[in-house]
Amino acid sequence: MGKFVKPGKVVLVLVGGYSGHKAVIMKNIDDDTSDPPYSHALVAGIDHYPCKVTASMSKKNIAKRSKNKSFVKVYNYNHLMPTRYSVDIPLDKTVINQDVFTDTALKPKAHREAKAEFEERYKTGKNKWLFQMFQLLISGKWSDTQHHWLTIQLADSDLLDSGQQLSNLCSAVKGLEVEASSLVLSVPP
């Protein structure tokens, strides 16, 4: 009843080299007529997340660890998982658009623009979820990216009622037998 795949929406990439990475929709094409002939979205995402930074680090170290690397890509809607988050990062549409994929000179410019805007937003401390690597801690083990879209539900505590639901979800994934009490959620702040 409401369209939620809109520019500014944060999505998770499910497929390909950037699986498990978070991205922001720049432009979405809903109809199946233009090239490619399926509903797709142009996203700008984070390739390399900024590292953890503590107060005891030197300024030089902090600057180095706060760097990120971005990517710009076109994805089929089926290969994206929309989240409830959206950001209003002012990514320049004239620089980041579909021409990037045909003209090789435009690509580095688009990447640089995305990287710069993401870094600026990261430094303000807003939209922390976007800059955190997607992860789930299950009984002390990090889950691999195969289970990443299981982990969305777990990391998004809005949807969870109880630990029972959690363990139902986990046993639905092959090879994951977890008791509800031993789960530790990494819930976004």
Residues lying near another protein in the complex (CB under 8 A) are found at 1-5, 30, 39, 77-78, 81-82, 84, 149-150, 152-153, 156, 158-159, 165, 168-169, 172-173
- State the minimum distance, in angstroms, from the CB of residue 112 to another protein: 31
Question: Between 51 and 150, whose beta carbon lies closer to another protein?
Answer: 150
- State the minimum distance, in angstroms, from the CB of residue 187 to another protein: 16
Question: Between 14 and 114, whose beta carbon lies closer to another protein?
Answer: 14
In the block, residue with structure tokens 């720049």: 26
d(CA 157, CA 89): 25
Question: Between 81 and 116, whose beta carbon lies closer to another protein?
Answer: 81
Question: Between 145 and 165, whose beta carbon lies closer to another protein?
Answer: 165
- State the minimum distance, in angstroms, from the CB of residue 5 to another protein: 6
Task: Give the orientation angle of helix 163-172 with respect to helix 148-155, to 10 degrees.
Answer: 180
CA dist list (Å): 183 to 32, 147, 149, 176: 42, 15, 17, 12
Question: Between 57 and 173, whose beta carbon lies closer to another protein?
Answer: 173
d(CA 171, CA 105): 48
- State the minimum distance, in angstroms, from the CB of residue 61 to another protein: 39
- State the minimum distance, in angstroms, from the CB of residue 124 to another protein: 26
- State the minimum distance, in angstroms, from the CB of residue 153 to another protein: 5
Question: Between 23 and 100, whose beta carbon lies closer to another protein?
Answer: 23
